[in-house]
Structure 1
Amino acid sequence: MTYDSLSGRTAVVTGAASGIGAATAVLLAAHGARVALLARRTERLGELAAKITADGGRALAVTADVTDEESVAAAVQRIHSAYGPADLLVNAAGVMLPNPVDDGRADEWQRMTDTNVTGALRLIRAFTGDLLAAAADGRSADLVNISSIGAHVVFPNYAVYGATKAALTHLSQSLRAELGPRDVRVTNVEPGFTESELRDHIDNPELTGQLDSMLDAVGLLTSEDVADLIAYTTSRPRHVNLRQAIVLPTRQ
């Protein structure tokens, strides 16, 4: 499928070093968007930017940590200097650290909250002005947040992760009420089991085994599957907002 209306747009994608973020950046660039790649891993970003460029696309690698205010501010300045204002923001940065709540791992709770919720808010604050300006100029303007089916479905030992994703889902719904009347589309995407590095964040062998058993039973989406949904959503006519998308492996 082609998404011709993405050509000429300027996209910012967080979590772009791997998984859904990387796949989304590649697909948007393949359809003519200029893409700013944000993540912490400089080497991975450089490799992805080189791949996009070699394939005829435009990409800017920007090392940034969404949990750090100064890092985000520096990234925004670099993007604006290179590409000007953005009209498409994809918040794909996320971390999943499942453990029983009674383990009391407050450091993990803070890390998930800082990345999955506050990190997204930092980027939203940074680029909302750009999105509103694009919309006021009659162009498409999109904010896409990558939440999770875990925002709705209870998984034991994933309480805090699920809570952060539920917060992001609710934030997306509330932002649509604020930004939609000004022609900025807000889309909340909730993937189910998806091939990514989130599994590698788990340090509990029992929980890793449980997850592997579930994945073996129902299968996985690829990151490209979710990226395709994002590209489809953001390439619709500007008066069409697919505000909520839950995408699951068929067996899940």
Structure 2
Amino acid sequence: MTNRIALVTGAASGIGAAIALRLAADGASVALLARRRDRLEKVAAEIVESGGTALVVPADVTSPESVAAAAANVQQHFGDLDLLVNNAGLMHVVPFADGPLDDWRRTVDVNLTGVVNVTHAFLPALRRSAATRTTDLINVSSLAGDRINPGMATYGATKAAVSHLTRALRAELAPEGIRVTDLEPGMIDGTELADAFPAELRTMVDELRTNLPAVPVAEVAELIAYVVSRPRNVNLPRLIIQPSKEV
């Protein structure tokens, strides 16, 4: 990973922070993108204290203008990106008819439109990088996009769309040398996705994570580190990571 330049969205916590820390530990210069500057600065400080290189890039993935400014910032500090991990996401679990429409719109904006905005903004840099060096685009989707889960209609629909978008992008970008991977996690421990759940549902999720047990975020980061370290002519297009007992 030495000399590679990465950007991770949703890097303020959970899976995103774990990915950023692992990529930096392996030698990449990592741009950290999320809305919460204070949380990003904590992750960046941990990277720097360990001898790595990090850039804090506060941005809102739902805003094309914010993402464009972030792309210019990364370009100025690091040059052309060669590794993009779209990880930012949120989850509301509630029956569709009971959910506020604003929540559903926000879910689509972050989980799907955010991936479109970020990928579109950084694609020119990825294309330039692919001409001379290993280049990866990784979209973190979810097993929820391939399953029917009551209360997760909109979340699951956005993740199904992300997986489809990823497969379509691979068909378009593979001839240019850009490796594209759809990563679909199952039950993961150490994320904040369940923080907005009602108390009784959050308790149930916590018990499920304990009983499975859930996959630690560090294992997701380990898998991504493996994917991007493969020889340039090797692509792992679709990966699922879940607890051994999860069905």
Q: Structure 2: state its 5+ residue gaps.
A: none
**Cα distance between partner residues in 2 of 1:156 and 1:183:** 39
SS in 2 for 1:134: helix
Q: Structure 1: state its 5+ residue gaps.
A: 1-5
Give the CA deviation at 1:70. 1.7
- Larger mean CA deviation between 6-15 and 62-71 belongs to 62-71
Structure 1 runs (4+) deviating above 4 angstroms are none
1:131 to 126, 132, 143: 126
Cα deviation digits, residues 28-58 of structure 1 (max 9, x gap): 0111100000011111111111110110000
- Whether the aligned pair in 2 keeps the contact of 1:95 and 1:201 (CA below 8 Å) is no
Identity of aligned residues (%): 49
Give the CA deviation at 1:104. 4.0
Amino acid paired to 2:12: A
Q: How does 1:37-116 map to 2 (within 5 A)?
A: 37-116=32-111
Amino acid paired to 2:145: A
Amino acid paired to 2:231: P
Residue 205 of structure 1: aligned partner:
199
Residue 147 of structure 2: aligned partner:
153
SS in 2 for 1:129: helix
Q: Normalization by structure 2: what TM-score?
A: 0.96
- Whether the aligned pair in 1 keeps the contact of 2:44 and 2:56 (CA below 8 Å) is yes
Say what the alpha-carbon RMSD is for the aligned residues: 1.1
Residue 208 of structure 2: aligned partner:
214
Give the CA deviation at 1:201. 2.1
1:185 to 158, 179, 185: 179
Aligned length, in residue pairs: 245
2:6 to 11, 20, 40: 11
**Cα distance between partner residues in 1 of 2:102 and 2:110:** 12
SS in 1 for 2:23: helix
**Cα distance between partner residues in 2 of 1:36 and 1:209:** 34
Give the CA deviation at 1:183. 0.9
